[in-house]
Structure 1
Amino acid sequence: MKLNILRPAEGSVKTRKRVGRGAGSGLGGTSTRGHKGAKSRSGYSRKIGFEGGQMPLQRRLPKFGFKNINRVEYKAVNLDTIQALADAKNLTKVGINDLIEAGFISSNQLVKVLGNGSLTTKLDVEANAFSKSAVAAIEAVGGNAVKL
């Protein structure tokens, strides 16, 4: 093997297509852009959703609904989850910080306690909101539902 004989593998190197360099190249004239139309012109970029002049889908469909800017989004936590957390950590008072440490919610979320499941021990539960069934279940075992 000699350095002056080295060549790339057959078919691995392709020559660049040089468009618009005269008729003799076979790629002159329209420079592979076809004839006329927006796509043949310089500076063309198709707008998102453009359907060739046909009324686009997002304009054919009617508008409906609205976003309530006053909506308050809560992360739901059930009573059985709170009972499991209290049993695991021997707690008598379950607050938002306990739920954050356990990984049930993140620090910027609001908590609503729902009445799914049951409590077996007396607990003081702190949350941003409670369902009626959750408050009834907490008070039934002698605990307190503290709204923050």
Structure 2
Amino acid sequence: MKLNELRNKPGAVKARKRVGRGIGSGTGKTAGRGVKGQKSRSGVSINGFEGGQMPIYRRLPKRGFNNIFAKSFNAVSLGRIQAAVDAGKLDASAVVNVETLMAAGVIRRAKDGVRILSDGELKAKLSFDVAGASKAAIEKIEKAGGSIKLPEAAAE
């Protein structure tokens, strides 16, 4: 196969509709826009317009806010970490932190840190250095003989 022989599959590319090209085309004269009125003219942008009545997005009260200081954590379960250890992707003797979890393919990107959740069982004795962990996760880690290092006021 050569570059000049490459083609799309039949029906993959549809020709654009050429409007306003005579009555025989089916979209001639008014070009499918109907007759008269604001929407038949060019430059129309009336999304949310209710004919002069106060629009619903202005009638309803504003609610809530977006916290610009909120942190976004990667939630990782103990079962997922144990699966990575069993698969040989995560070294049990190394400290489990953001870098090692990314290298093992457990998480995709760092965000604001990792938070450990207690889903699943942990059999390996691991040392954690993470941004947060649930109480149940901390209990399971210590029960398995591991240790966990958290920043101040991160454990809930």
For 2:15, the equivalent position in structure 1 comes to: none
For 2:87, the equivalent position in structure 1 comes to: 88
Q: Which has the larger radius of gyration?
A: 1
1:20-31 to structure 2, matched below 5 A, reads none
For 1:70, the equivalent position in structure 2 comes to: 69
User: In the aligned structure 2, how far is the partner of 1:141 from the partner of 1:46?
Assistant: 63
Q: Does 1:111 align with 2:114?
A: yes
Post-superposition shift, 1:68? Answer: 1.8
Question: 1:66 is matched by which residue type in structure 2?
Answer: F
- Which portions of structure 1, spanning 4 or more consecutive aligned residues, are displaced by more than 4 angstroms? none
Post-superposition shift, 1:127? Answer: 1.6
Post-superposition shift, 1:33? Answer: 5.6
For 1:142, the equivalent position in structure 2 comes to: 145
Question: 1:54 is matched by which residue type in structure 2?
Answer: Q
User: In the aligned structure 1, how far is the partner of 2:74 from the partner of 2:63?
Assistant: 27
Post-superposition shift, 1:138? Answer: 0.8
User: In the aligned structure 1, how far is the partner of 2:140 from the partner of 2:20?
Assistant: 78
Q: Does 1:99 align with 2:101?
A: yes
What is the aligned-residue identity percentage? 38
What is the aligned residue count?
A: 120
Q: Say whether the 8 Å CA contact 2:81–2:106 is kept in structure 1.
A: no
User: In the aligned structure 2, how far is the partner of 1:15 from the partner of 1:134?
Assistant: 67
1:22-61 to structure 2, matched below 5 A, reads 34=36, 39=38, 45-61=44-60
CA displacement 1:107-134 (0-9 Å, x = unmatched): 3322100112221121112222111111
For structure 1, list consecutive stretches of 5 or more residues without a partner in the other structure: 1-13, 18-26
TM-score by length of 2: 0.62
Choose the corresponding residue for 1:16, options 7, 17, 21.
Answer: 21
TM-score by length of 1: 0.65
User: In the aligned structure 2, how far is the partner of 1:121 from the partner of 1:33?
Assistant: 74
User: In the aligned structure 2, how far is the partner of 1:43 from the partner of 1:137?
Assistant: 65
Alpha-carbon distance change, 103 to 91 in structure 1, aligned in 2, over 3 angstroms: closer
User: In the aligned structure 2, how far is the partner of 1:52 from the partner of 1:104?
Assistant: 53
Question: 2:91 is matched by which residue type in structure 1?
Answer: L
User: In the aligned structure 2, how far is the partner of 1:74 from the partner of 1:15?
Assistant: 54
For structure 2, list consecutive stretches of 5 or more residues without a partner in the other structure: 1-18, 23-28, 152-156
User: In the aligned structure 1, how far is the partner of 2:49 from the partner of 2:116?
Assistant: 48
